[in-house]
A and B are shown apart, each in its own frame.
Chain A
Amino acid sequence: MEIAVMFGLILIAILAGLLGSLLGLGGGVIIIPVLTLLFNVPMQEAIGASLIAVIATSTGSASYYVDQGLSNIRLAMVLEVATTIGSVIGALVAVYTDQYVLAAAFGFLLLYSSFYMLRRPENICLGPTGPCGPLDLSCSYDDKATHERVEYGVKNLGKGMLASAAAGGTSGLLGVGGGIIKVPVMNLWMGVPMRAACATSNFMIGVTALAGAIVYYQFGQIDPLLAGVVAVGAFIGAAIGTRTSHRFEGDQLKRVFGVVMILVAVLMFLKALGVIA
């Protein structure tokens, strides 16, 4: 691999890590299209590299966000049960399903939800609303952008679990961390403020990508140089992103996220039409 290529890859990975850590994504939604379209990397290797990038972004942001109290670890673990199960099912189902249909369905789903992200202002359960069923997932943090202490409760756990399972499914299929589903679900359905949703998602996606990454590694589907470069870049991006996240308010992040969702939806439609792999 030439130095120029490595350099270009690192820059892109930094961008992916930056956006990823701010929005609760792993960066896979940026990395996979770029690798497959611009760098002509075979899909399997791109997914492998993307999974590594997701872990790098997640790791790079998680410790910071946890220290800040933004990541709701209990919520993360509960949802991860569903997500990991979903990713196993997703991987098994992937063998039998038409990729194009899946991509199209995913695209519509993203488009539909993006409008909610763009239009609705923050709609969180302020103040502890008490335990959500048998589990108490309420949490609080200090919001540095608005200088307030935010407390919130978590609701709709059942729906959240189902959606997380679906997110896990997409992770196995598309090589992403699943954050693109998890963040809107937490923010729109479960009453989690946007910044906490992003931080919690960052915590989760590393776990989600874990199983996939191990399998891909064992099967030799990971190019060490590619993965190494992407990981370093994503890490750096995440380090920058987490430390600048306090400048953004939840609503701003929501709008950027909505735009990203639309872009990914477009990519999904292109994939469904067979324009891209």
Chain B
Amino acid sequence: MLSSLALLIIGLIWYALAPSGTDFTMGPAEAFKATISGDPVGLICLGIMLLIATPLLRILVTLWTFLKLRDWKFVAISLTVLLVIATAILIKG
């Protein structure tokens, strides 16, 4: 969470100092390459992707907690949420 914030802030300041023309989002590999080759937008994209991943991590952590607590009903509930989200992505994509 904080790392995504850090990436974003650094990326934005870098952009402010040296704007690049890029205005589209990139996938992880591209963004990484872009950052290394000096495009701040690459870093920003990495930050955004990391940010998007956080709620997902949150569900996984919650799932893990319920597993440890052996609260099976809520393990099932958390898994269902994950499933629905995965389906949503697949349907719309």
Q: List chain A positions with a Cβ less than 8 A from chain B.
A: 1, 3, 6, 52, 55-56, 58-60, 62-63, 73-74, 77-78, 80-81, 84-85, 87-88, 91-92, 134-135, 203, 206-207, 209-211, 213-215, 217-218, 220, 222-225, 227-229, 231-232, 235
Contact = CB atoms under 8 A, between A and B. Distances in A.
B29 interface: no
A183 B77 CA distance: 21
Interface of B: 1, 4-5, 8-9, 11-12, 15-16, 19, 22-25, 41, 44-45, 47-49, 51-52, 54-56, 58-59, 62, 73-74, 77-78, 80-81, 84-85, 87-89, 91-93
B88 A87 contact: yes
A211 B8 contact: no
Provide the main secondary structure of the chain A interface. Answer: helix
5 contacts: A1-B19, A84-B81, A84-B85, A225-B12, A225-B41
B54 to A, nearest CB: 5
A88 B81 contact: no
> At the interface, is chain B mostly helix, strand, loop or mixed?
helix
A224 B45 contact: yes
Given A213-B52, A223-B23, A206 B92 contact: no
Contacts of B84: 81, 84-85, 88
Contacts of A88: 84, 87-88, 91-92
Closest 3 CB pairs of A and B: A206-B55, A211-B88, A84-B84
A80 B77 CA distance: 9
B47 A228 contact: yes
Given A210-B55, A214-B52, A225-B41, A231 B8 contact: yes
A210 B54 CA distance: 9
Given A218-B93, A223-B23, 7 more contacts: A6-B16, A62-B58, A81-B77, A207-B59, A222-B48, A223-B25, A227-B48
